Amino acid sequence: MLLILQHNDTVPPGYLGDAIARAGVETTVVDLWAGDPVPSHEGWAGIVSLGGLMGAYDDEEYPWLTTEKAMLRAAVTAGVPVLGICLGCQVLADALGGRAYKAADTEIAFAPVDLTAAGAADPVVGRMTGSVLTWHQDTWDPPPGAEVLATSDRYPQAFRLGSALGLQPHPEAGEEIATGWASEPKGAAMLDRVGVIADELLAAIRASNPEPMAARLFDAWLAEVAGTTPPL
């Protein structure tokens, strides 16, 4: 059974959900934004922490963030595979001894990330070789002992530490999800702030079709959860 922690209803599993369905994996979705309690780390084959609109440091406004961090830390200590995406990556980094904080600049792009040597050799991140949606205004310092697997020209984009894998971009998001974000007031304001035109961003996603790359990446992570990750 896979646990999915959802921080907002507008940030769903997307292509990850498709990969889970292909693999026939049973899931439990916990809607933290709706008041669902954070469950124990025990009894899960793997845990996913998705993106969201809040900051990983907004514990006072969202007290369940503190509980989530403690649970993810316990999961990684126990060797449970944990995947954090965007906010989930920042929460995971913070939980493991790194630091999540407001970035100097908002980063919105549909472009490749730069894989480090370790990232290129990684059985999951090594498959993130095409353009991927990046949309965030926070960033993170890696936890002690973590290996950074990908970067952009401004921010770290992926890390591994034990059974934890953090991805700053949104490989789960295609045109449909991005269209929803661009139409939200907060998303539209972020686009305006960085001078990104929504129609151009969405057209780039449509033309590239990131779904096959996302399928390869998430299939590999699910195989890793099952202990059968194929080589690159």
Calpha distance 65→56 (Å, rounded): 7
Calpha distance 183→115 (Å, rounded): 31
Kindly tell me the number of DSSP H helices and DSSP E strands found in the chain: 8, 10
Tally the C-alpha atoms within 13 A of residue 215's C-alpha that lie toward its C-beta.
8
DSSP secondary structure of 78-123: TT--EEEETHHHHHHHHHTT-EEEEEEEEEEEEE--EE-HHHHH-T
Active-site residue among 68, 107, 170, 224?
A: 170
Active site residue 86: yes
Quick check: 146 and 98 in contact, CB under 8 A? yes
Quick check: 2 and 20 in contact, CB under 8 A? yes
Active site residue 172: yes
Active-site residue among 7, 68, 107, 172?
A: 172
Residue with tokens 């007031």: 185
Calpha distance 114→112 (Å, rounded): 7
How are strands ordered across the β-sheet holding 164-167? Answer: 27-31, 2-6, 46-49, 82-85, 164-167, 156-161, 147-151, 114-115
Active-site residue among 86, 107, 175, 224?
A: 86
Active-site residue list: 86, 170, 172
